[in-house]
Amino acid sequence: MPFVDQITLEDNRYPLRHRVAVITGAESGIGAATAAALHARGAAVALLGLDGRRLEEQRSRLPGDGLSFAAVADVTDRQAMSRARRQIMDSIGVPDLVVSNAGVMNGGPLRDADVHDMTQMIEVNVLGMLHTAQLFLPDLEEAAVGSRPSDLIFIGSIAGEVLFPNFSVYGASQAAIAQLARTLRAEIGPNGVRVKLVEAGVTLTRLGKGISDRVARRELEDLREIDLPLTPDEVADAVAFAATLPPHVNLSELTVVPTKHGRLGAV
Amino acid sequence: MSTLIAGTPLAGRVAVVTGASSGIGEATAERFAELGAKVALLARRKDRLEDVAERITSKGGIALALPTDVTDRAAVRAAAERISVELGNVDLVFANAGVQLISEIGDLKTEDWDAQIDLNIKGVMNTIQAFVGSLEAAGTDGRPADLITTSSIAATRVLEKFQVYSGTKAYISHITRLLRTELGRKNVRVSTVEPGMVNTELPDHVTDPDASKLMADLIHQIDVLQSADVAETVSFVAALPKHVNLTELTILPTAQII
């Protein structure tokens, strides 16, 4: 069966060929790196985010030769996300690999926290992930029929497990995502959808760049100032590895941290 | 399963795998060797261990079979000395040996309790005492160094009658976090893998009918994990750049609910 042999060869080089991926928050950081890692392995990718220019820039730099698509869509805007989903299906196909990554982080003592900042973290990190998950669930469940791979991957943070004073709202949003991912896994795993939770340690991204509180900003900068920090590409490689495992294998939770950060939390 | 990792990213590494005579340990030892590591195999069953070593050698790998009961601290230390002479300084430890024995607490099967605590906890501590110095030396030299343990989803789930087994695995998962606080700054990566249902001989030792049925049903009804699936994942952890620590992983059959 030479035809089958050819497919096997091709799949070894491009194990994610025939997969259609959607990545939220894809204009930078872990989102952009994940889009690139999936594309390099053969997947068609759709990049969603807020900054159209940066999205196009990332799209033009994708390393693979598969299809790609980029659109501005705010994860907190259900209608915009729904519109983006239809555009994705028209341009690159029905998604079977959704990476819910978009997130924001602010910090500072809760007593002084800006109400808008607090609300935004909950809206983007929690509600945004809920909208993303619910919108694409029908596609993911359909994709899983016949034991084909289908992934819903939540990019979370170790802040959902360990304690970072001055980052209470962010930590709470990450704990919510973790429990959402774990519960959804038990709910739809039997339907063949692999729900995964990636908890990243401190990574060199733009996350938290806008923190107004001086102390919180300094704490974050200190955590990033180690000689071999974790980069978005390394987190993306772990995500791509998990997506590439055979359909019956779900690497359902993984925590990835810089080796040097022995003590993960501040407390 | 088809393999995902290419090339020989573990070339130059010296690995020790406990519980290497079957299941996850056997599959991981073979995969480590294929990816370029020299591998020391520890387990009690000499015949099976030698079969694994022979299979590795026949494929061009380097393996050293050392029949060892890891509950015997002195024996593990003796094995460590032989490994350092014959293969070199160990920089990759997969402390995997474990046993699962299920009974109601009121049955007072104290021998089963002890067997699990002795192998799953003390066996891992014996392995750590024999190799932590070598791992720290590798980390200090700027080489990759890994201490990887096999835990279980039992570490976090509440499974009736699995009390002692789950307690031993919770110990393994939590000590991973604690060891990171001491070893991380020395560039030693500490990782634990918590698998769900894997098709190994682990359930074969279970005599409790309810627990046996639970596991047999899972194997029958869903596509469970194969040892090779876990081996590929453990190998990925070890093959990552040395500053990246994939420290806690849960790996489940996609269809497993628990």
Per-residue pLDDT of A55-100, as tens digits, reads 999 999 999 999 999 999 999 999 999 999 999 999 999 999 999 9
Is B165 an active-site residue?
Answer: yes
Ramachandran region, residue A42 (left: φ > 0; alpha: ψ -120 to 50; beta: rest): left
If you measure CA to CA, which chain A residue comes closest to B183?
A262
Angle, vertex CA A34, rays to CA A33 and CA A38, nearest 5? 120
Using CB atoms, pick whichever of B229, B244, B255 lies closest to residue A189. Answer: B255
pLDDT of residue B216: 86
pLDDT of residue A2: 40
A190 vs B contacts (CB less than 8 Å)? 255, 257
pLDDT band at A7 (very low <50, low <70, confident <90, very high): very low
pLDDT at B125 over 70: yes
pLDDT of residue B214: 85
Which of B143, B230, B244 is most worth mutating to test chain A (most A CB atoms within 10 A of its CB)?
A: B244
pLDDT band at B1 (very low <50, low <70, confident <90, very high): low
For a pLDDT cut of 90, what percent of chain B falls above it? 90
Averaged confidence pLDDT in chain A: 93
Ramachandran region, residue B238 (left: φ > 0; alpha: ψ -120 to 50; beta: rest): alpha
B188 vs A contacts (CB less than 8 Å)? 259
pLDDT of residue A267: 61
Q: Do B254 and A192 touch (CB under 8 A)?
A: yes
A46, A21 contact by CB (below 8 A): yes
Average pLDDT over residues B126-147: 98
Q: Do A259 and B244 touch (CB under 8 A)?
A: yes
Is the ipTM higher than 0.90? The answer is yes
pLDDT at B39 over 80: yes
If you measure CA to CA, which chain B residue comes closest to A266?
B181
Please pick, among A14, A136, A167, A170, the residue that the annotation labels catalytic. Answer: A170
Domains identified in chain A and CATH numbers: 11-254 (3.40.50.720)
Q: What is the CATH topology of the domain spanning B14-251?
A: Rossmann fold (3.40.50)
Distance, in angstroms, between B127 CA and closest chain A CA? 21
Averaged confidence pLDDT in chain B: 96
Q: Where are the domains of chain B?
A: 14-251
Structure tokens that stand for B10 in this block: 């573990």
- The C-alpha atoms of residue A251 and residue B121 are separated, in whole angstroms, by 25
Residues in a beta bridge with B67: B43
pLDDT at A4 over 50: no
- Whether B245 has its CB under 8 Å from any CB of chain A: the answer is yes
Please pick, among B165, B173, B229, B232, the residue that the annotation labels catalytic. Answer: B165
pLDDT of residue B206: 87
pLDDT at A251 over 50: yes
